[in-house]
Amino acid sequence: MEKFIVKGGHPLKGQVQISGYKNSAGPILAAALLSDKPSVISNLPQVSDVANLIEIIAQIGGEIEWLDRHTVKIGAKNLNPQKIPANIFQKMRISVLLIGPLLARFRSFRVPHPGGDKIGLRPISTHLDAFEQFGVKIWRENGFYCFEAPKDIKPAHIVLKEFSVTATENAMMLAAGIEGKSVIEIAAAEPQVQDLIMMLENMGAKIVWTHPHTLEIQGTKNLGGANHEICPDPLETGTFMVAMAITGGQGKITGINPRHLTFFLEKMKEIGVDFAIGENSITVNPSKNFKAARVQVMLYPGFPTDLQPQISVLLTQAAGKTLIHEPLYENRLRHFEELRKMGADIEITDPHRALIFGKTELSGTTVDASDIRSGTALTLAALIAQGQTIVENISNIERGSEKFDEKLRSLGADIEKIGE
């Protein structure tokens, strides 16, 4: 089992380039299956979830050609969804995004339940309900979801059961591959949804927002291939901002889109982080004192759930009492148990709320990276902890963070990756 060995007390300094967004790469790669014409996708992050998704596409007949380390050409002319490898499909949540594109091109197939982070109940019922609104028949059989689309599937007016990012993306991709106009209400609007819209428009669909959460999609059975660059990762941007701030460092984060982080950046100002925003960069300066704040996770453009663990680490170093409210996932506070091992003064009041009392000194110990974001957050805590911290189960971090340890090391962190 691979792990990080981190010795705290080193201010981070220098410049770091942000990778492509893993949460955007999933739907973009899936969308390439909507056409029998090849697509070229660039700025792909080299993370295990992306590698596994590409492996699934290859095993069902996709033609994969790597043009460089972060650019892949995908040909999807000769797909066979009956060959979906269950063992890989079950490893990650983003595999669910293959269902919409495959339904647009094939009448029937089956898939196992997708996997992903253990941050709470994450059923795919919203996806299934959306597909059923398109007239798709769905049933469970021997641990698989079985899908059968109508012979001549029609566009539809879809009302999602919740603001689900991946269900919005799945419904969009299916609608884009159906001739005629579909409408999706209660649509999520996160950066990865916006990125997918650009990809689908490049392929030939016409998509407009008729309301902040309503999409109108003019689909076609003759979608073409596209050249598309994955948007920069806003979560990695926020993570490195926190890393520089808590270590008292100074550095520049490049290749970003600050418009994807408006609410997060305002919260960082409120806490007292000193930074300056450029056109596609953020410069973080040493900050004197951090102040407690109220952090409530909300739908985009509100505070992102995937940056709550990282900012929680920052707030252990803020004077006063902070309330963290995480309404989306009941297991998204698991990192607090690990932070308490390190000496943080945290009271978990219920599965969705916690109080952080700061400022507290953290000490090195052994902690568990139970999911991508808690793992990155605990690594950040290790950067300021007295002594040595061992972060275990880092395969969870590497599912979504490209060369996280190497980037930290380039900024001056004392971090070593060991194990098989």
CATH number of the domain that residue 47 is part of: 3.65.10.10
Strand pairing report for 3-7 and 414-418:
antiparallel
Position 337 scores a pLDDT of: 94
Q: Provide the β-strand partners of residue 157.
A: 183
Residues 10 and 80 in one domain: no
101, 33 in Cβ contact below 8 A?
Answer: yes
Residues 220 and 260 in one domain: no
- Picking from 208, 229, 250, the residue at the C-terminal end of a domain is 229
242, 215 in Cβ contact below 8 A?
Answer: no
Residues 318 and 331 in one domain: yes
Position 377 scores a pLDDT of: 97
Position 171 scores a pLDDT of: 98
Residues 174 and 314 in one domain: no
Residues 245 and 355 in one domain: yes
Residues 12 and 28 in one domain: no
Residues 351 and 271 in one domain: yes
Residues 251 and 319 in one domain: yes
For residue 318, the one-letter residue type is A
Position 420 scores a pLDDT of: 61
Closest C-alpha to 34, from 222, 303, 191, 190: 222
Taken as a whole, the chain contains a residue count of 420
34, 199 in Cβ contact below 8 A?
Answer: no
For residue 253, the one-letter residue type is I
Residue pointed to by tokens 């098989």: 420
- Picking from 201, 229, 257, the residue at the C-terminal end of a domain is 229
- Picking from 229, 251, 280, the residue at the C-terminal end of a domain is 229
Measure the CA–CA gap between 272 and 145, rounded to whole angstroms: 49
Position 419 scores a pLDDT of: 86
Residues 58 and 190 in one domain: yes
- Per-residue tens of pLDDT for the chain, all 420 residues: 899 999 999 999 999 999 999 999 999 999 999 999 999 999 999 999 999 999 999 999 999 999 999 999 999 999 999 999 999 998 888 999 999 999 999 999 999 988 644 433 357 999 999 999 999 999 999 989 999 999 999 999 999 999 999 999 999 999 999 999 999 999 999 999 999 999 999 999 999 999 999 999 999 999 999 999 999 999 999 999 999 999 999 999 999 999 999 999 999 999 999 999 999 999 999 998 999 999 999 999 999 999 999 999 999 999 999 999 998 767 778 899 999 999 999 999 998 999 999 999 999 999 999 999 999 999 999 999 999 999 999 999 999 899 999 999 999 999 999 986
Q: Which pair of tokens denotes residue 145?
A: 């979801």
Q: Provide the β-strand partners of residue 108.
A: 148
* Domain range enclosing 170: 22-229
Residues 255 and 356 in one domain: yes
Residues 180 and 249 in one domain: no
Give the total number of structural domains in the chain: 2
The dihedral formed by the CA atoms of 374, 377, 378 and 384, expressed in degrees to the nearest 10: -170
Residues 260 and 399 in one domain: yes
